[in-house]
Amino acid sequence: MSYQTFDIQRSITRKQTVALTGLLLILFVIAHLAGNLFIYGGPETFNGYAEKLEHLGPFLKIAEWGLALLFFVHVERVTVLIVQNIRAKGGLKRYIVDNSKGPRSWATRLMPYSGTYLLLYLIWHLYDFTWSNHEGSRSIINGKSYGLYGVVVNSFKDPLHSWLYVLAMCFLGLHLAHGVQSFIQTFAFNDTHVTRGLKKFSRLFAVAMVIGYSSIPLYVLYVLKV
Protein backbone atom coordinates (compact mmCIF):
# COMPACT_ATOMS: atom_id res chain seq x y z
CA MET A 1 0.00 0.00 0.00
CA SER A 2 1.44 3.40 -0.99
CA TYR A 3 1.75 6.17 1.60
CA GLN A 4 -0.98 8.17 -0.17
CA THR A 5 -3.45 5.24 -0.17
CA PHE A 6 -2.69 4.66 3.51
CA ASP A 7 -3.37 8.35 4.22
CA ILE A 8 -6.70 8.28 2.34
CA GLN A 9 -7.71 5.10 4.22
CA ARG A 10 -6.91 6.80 7.52
CA SER A 11 -9.04 9.82 6.54
CA ILE A 12 -11.98 7.54 5.66
CA THR A 13 -11.68 5.75 9.01
CA ARG A 14 -11.63 9.13 10.78
CA LYS A 15 -14.76 10.26 8.90
CA GLN A 16 -16.50 6.99 9.79
CA THR A 17 -15.58 7.45 13.46
CA VAL A 18 -16.99 10.99 13.39
CA ALA A 19 -20.19 9.70 11.76
CA LEU A 20 -20.61 6.76 14.16
CA THR A 21 -19.98 8.79 17.32
CA GLY A 22 -22.28 11.46 15.83
CA LEU A 23 -25.06 8.88 15.43
CA LEU A 24 -24.71 7.72 19.04
CA LEU A 25 -24.82 11.35 20.18
CA ILE A 26 -27.98 11.86 18.10
CA LEU A 27 -29.57 8.92 19.94
CA PHE A 28 -28.68 10.66 23.21
CA VAL A 29 -30.17 13.95 21.95
CA ILE A 30 -33.49 12.14 21.16
CA ALA A 31 -33.57 10.34 24.54
CA HIS A 32 -32.60 13.52 26.43
CA LEU A 33 -35.41 15.48 24.78
CA ALA A 34 -37.91 12.73 25.64
CA GLY A 35 -36.79 12.91 29.30
CA ASN A 36 -36.88 16.71 29.42
CA LEU A 37 -40.46 16.79 28.10
CA PHE A 38 -41.52 15.41 31.52
CA ILE A 39 -41.25 19.04 32.64
CA TYR A 40 -44.74 19.52 31.20
CA GLY A 41 -46.01 17.06 33.82
CA GLY A 42 -44.98 19.35 36.70
CA PRO A 43 -42.40 19.05 39.52
CA GLU A 44 -43.28 15.52 40.70
CA THR A 45 -43.21 14.00 37.23
CA PHE A 46 -39.97 15.76 36.24
CA ASN A 47 -38.13 15.06 39.50
CA GLY A 48 -39.51 11.49 39.52
CA TYR A 49 -37.91 10.91 36.13
CA ALA A 50 -34.57 12.38 37.33
CA GLU A 51 -34.69 10.19 40.47
CA LYS A 52 -35.38 7.06 38.40
CA LEU A 53 -32.20 7.85 36.44
CA GLU A 54 -30.28 8.34 39.74
CA HIS A 55 -31.46 4.89 40.89
CA LEU A 56 -29.64 3.31 37.96
CA GLY A 57 -26.54 3.86 40.16
CA PRO A 58 -23.39 2.39 38.57
CA PHE A 59 -25.15 1.98 35.18
CA LEU A 60 -25.78 5.73 35.12
CA LYS A 61 -22.11 6.39 35.88
CA ILE A 62 -21.04 4.05 33.04
CA ALA A 63 -23.52 5.79 30.68
CA GLU A 64 -22.23 9.25 31.69
CA TRP A 65 -18.58 8.29 31.18
CA GLY A 66 -19.49 6.61 27.90
CA LEU A 67 -21.25 9.79 26.79
CA ALA A 68 -18.28 11.95 27.77
CA LEU A 69 -15.97 9.62 25.83
CA LEU A 70 -18.25 9.83 22.78
CA PHE A 71 -18.21 13.65 22.88
CA PHE A 72 -14.44 13.64 23.27
CA VAL A 73 -13.77 11.22 20.39
CA HIS A 74 -16.28 13.05 18.13
CA VAL A 75 -14.72 16.48 18.74
CA GLU A 76 -11.11 15.22 18.61
CA ARG A 77 -11.59 13.33 15.31
CA VAL A 78 -13.45 16.30 13.74
CA THR A 79 -10.62 18.62 14.78
CA VAL A 80 -8.02 16.34 13.18
CA LEU A 81 -10.08 16.18 9.96
CA ILE A 82 -10.46 19.97 9.83
CA VAL A 83 -6.75 20.58 10.42
CA GLN A 84 -5.95 18.00 7.73
CA ASN A 85 -8.32 19.73 5.27
CA ILE A 86 -6.91 23.16 6.04
CA ARG A 87 -3.37 21.89 5.41
CA ALA A 88 -4.41 20.24 2.15
CA LYS A 89 -6.31 23.28 0.86
CA GLY A 90 -4.21 26.08 2.25
CA GLY A 91 -6.31 27.99 4.79
CA LEU A 92 -9.48 27.96 6.92
CA LYS A 93 -11.40 30.18 4.50
CA ARG A 94 -10.81 27.78 1.64
CA TYR A 95 -11.88 24.85 3.82
CA ILE A 96 -15.15 26.51 4.67
CA VAL A 97 -16.12 27.91 1.27
CA ASP A 98 -14.77 25.06 -0.86
CA ASN A 99 -17.39 24.33 -3.50
CA SER A 100 -15.85 21.43 -5.33
CA LYS A 101 -18.96 19.21 -5.08
CA GLY A 102 -21.61 21.78 -5.95
CA PRO A 103 -23.20 24.38 -3.69
CA ARG A 104 -22.89 23.67 0.03
CA SER A 105 -25.76 24.42 2.38
CA TRP A 106 -25.53 26.88 5.25
CA ALA A 107 -25.67 23.95 7.68
CA THR A 108 -22.56 22.48 6.05
CA ARG A 109 -20.64 25.76 5.94
CA LEU A 110 -21.44 26.51 9.55
CA MET A 111 -20.46 23.05 10.87
CA PRO A 112 -17.23 24.21 12.60
CA TYR A 113 -19.01 27.22 14.15
CA SER A 114 -22.19 25.40 15.22
CA GLY A 115 -19.98 22.65 16.66
CA THR A 116 -17.86 25.13 18.65
CA TYR A 117 -20.93 26.96 19.98
CA LEU A 118 -22.46 23.61 21.01
CA LEU A 119 -19.31 22.61 22.83
CA LEU A 120 -19.25 25.88 24.79
CA TYR A 121 -22.98 25.56 25.41
CA LEU A 122 -22.51 22.04 26.76
CA ILE A 123 -19.91 23.13 29.32
CA TRP A 124 -22.24 25.92 30.47
CA HIS A 125 -25.21 23.48 30.46
CA LEU A 126 -23.45 20.94 32.70
CA TYR A 127 -22.38 23.70 35.07
CA ASP A 128 -25.95 25.05 34.98
CA PHE A 129 -27.93 21.85 35.68
CA THR A 130 -25.83 18.73 36.26
CA TRP A 131 -23.15 20.10 38.61
CA SER A 132 -25.35 22.71 40.32
CA ASN A 133 -26.83 22.22 43.79
CA HIS A 134 -30.28 20.74 43.19
CA GLU A 135 -31.47 21.68 46.69
CA GLY A 136 -29.85 25.15 46.93
CA SER A 137 -31.27 28.64 46.49
CA ARG A 138 -31.79 28.16 42.73
CA SER A 139 -34.27 25.34 43.41
CA ILE A 140 -36.63 27.53 45.48
CA ILE A 141 -39.96 28.71 44.09
CA ASN A 142 -42.28 30.70 46.39
CA GLY A 143 -40.24 29.73 49.46
CA LYS A 144 -40.19 25.97 48.78
CA SER A 145 -37.45 23.82 47.22
CA TYR A 146 -38.55 22.02 44.06
CA GLY A 147 -35.25 20.23 43.43
CA LEU A 148 -34.01 19.93 39.85
CA TYR A 149 -37.41 21.15 38.55
CA GLY A 150 -36.94 24.36 40.55
CA VAL A 151 -33.41 24.86 39.18
CA VAL A 152 -34.62 24.48 35.58
CA VAL A 153 -37.69 26.72 36.07
CA ASN A 154 -35.75 29.48 37.87
CA SER A 155 -33.08 29.41 35.14
CA PHE A 156 -35.59 29.73 32.31
CA LYS A 157 -37.57 32.49 34.05
CA ASP A 158 -34.58 34.69 33.13
CA PRO A 159 -35.18 35.85 29.49
CA LEU A 160 -31.44 36.05 28.65
CA HIS A 161 -30.87 32.52 29.95
CA SER A 162 -33.83 31.17 27.97
CA TRP A 163 -32.94 32.92 24.73
CA LEU A 164 -29.29 31.79 24.92
CA TYR A 165 -30.66 28.23 25.19
CA VAL A 166 -32.93 28.78 22.18
CA LEU A 167 -29.92 30.09 20.22
CA ALA A 168 -27.96 26.98 21.20
CA MET A 169 -30.88 24.83 20.02
CA CYS A 170 -30.82 26.61 16.63
CA PHE A 171 -27.12 25.74 16.34
CA LEU A 172 -27.97 22.19 17.39
CA GLY A 173 -30.54 22.11 14.57
CA LEU A 174 -28.00 23.32 12.01
CA HIS A 175 -25.49 20.76 13.24
CA LEU A 176 -28.04 17.93 13.12
CA ALA A 177 -29.34 18.93 9.68
CA HIS A 178 -25.93 18.30 8.20
CA GLY A 179 -24.86 15.56 10.61
CA VAL A 180 -27.68 13.06 9.98
CA GLN A 181 -27.33 13.39 6.23
CA SER A 182 -23.56 13.11 6.42
CA PHE A 183 -23.80 9.96 8.54
CA ILE A 184 -25.99 8.16 6.01
CA GLN A 185 -23.80 9.27 3.10
CA THR A 186 -20.61 8.18 4.84
CA PHE A 187 -21.92 4.67 5.31
CA ALA A 188 -24.41 4.06 2.55
CA PHE A 189 -25.64 6.03 -0.40
CA ASN A 190 -24.30 8.47 -2.91
CA ASP A 191 -27.27 8.42 -5.23
CA THR A 192 -28.86 11.80 -6.07
CA HIS A 193 -32.43 10.63 -5.44
CA VAL A 194 -31.60 9.09 -2.09
CA THR A 195 -29.43 12.09 -1.15
CA ARG A 196 -32.33 14.45 -1.80
CA GLY A 197 -34.63 12.32 0.38
CA LEU A 198 -32.02 12.18 3.13
CA LYS A 199 -31.56 15.94 3.05
CA LYS A 200 -35.29 16.41 3.51
CA PHE A 201 -35.41 13.86 6.31
CA SER A 202 -32.43 15.34 8.17
CA ARG A 203 -33.90 18.85 7.92
CA LEU A 204 -37.28 17.69 9.23
CA PHE A 205 -35.58 15.83 12.07
CA ALA A 206 -33.47 18.89 12.94
CA VAL A 207 -36.53 21.17 12.95
CA ALA A 208 -38.38 18.71 15.22
CA MET A 209 -35.46 18.74 17.69
CA VAL A 210 -35.17 22.55 17.64
CA ILE A 211 -38.92 22.95 18.29
CA GLY A 212 -38.99 20.22 20.95
CA TYR A 213 -36.01 21.57 22.91
CA SER A 214 -36.78 25.28 22.46
CA SER A 215 -40.37 24.74 23.59
CA ILE A 216 -39.08 24.08 27.15
CA PRO A 217 -37.40 27.44 27.96
CA LEU A 218 -40.13 29.31 26.04
CA TYR A 219 -42.90 27.47 27.92
CA VAL A 220 -41.28 28.26 31.28
CA LEU A 221 -40.62 31.88 30.31
CA TYR A 222 -43.97 32.78 28.75
CA VAL A 223 -46.59 30.20 29.78
CA LEU A 224 -45.78 28.68 33.17
CA LYS A 225 -47.26 30.65 36.07
CA VAL A 226 -45.36 30.20 39.35
Nearest by Cα to 14 from 85, 114, 66, 120: 85
Please tell me the distance from the alpha carbon of residue 73 to that of residue 85, in angstroms, as a whole number.
18
Question: Which H or E run includes 144?
Answer: strand 144-145
Per CB under 6 A, 177 contacts ligand HEM: no
Please tell me the distance from the alpha carbon of residue 103 to that of residue 115, in angstroms, as a whole number.
21
Per CB under 6 A, 213 contacts ligand HEM: yes
Q: Which of 45, 61, 62, 64 binds ligand HEM (CB under 6 A)?
A: 64
Per CB under 6 A, 217 contacts ligand HEM: yes
Window contacting ligand HEM (CB under 6 A); options: 89-97, 98-106, 107-115, 118-126: 118-126
Measured from the CB atom, the residue of 197 and 212 that comes closer to ligand HEM is: 212
Per CB under 6 A, 111 contacts ligand HEM: no
Per CB under 6 A, 130 contacts ligand HEM: yes
Window contacting ligand HEM (CB under 6 A); options: 89-97, 98-106, 193-201, 213-221: 213-221
Give the C-alpha distances (Å, rounded to integers) separating 218 from 38, 163, 169, 211.
Answer: 15, 8, 12, 10
Please tell me the distance from the alpha carbon of residue 125 to that of residue 32, in angstroms, as a whole number.
13
Please tell me the distance from the alpha carbon of residue 38 to that of residue 62, in angstroms, as a whole number.
23
The binding site for ligand HEM (CB under 6 A) comprises: 29, 32, 36, 50, 53, 64, 67, 118, 122, 125-126, 129-130, 148, 152, 165, 172, 213, 216-217
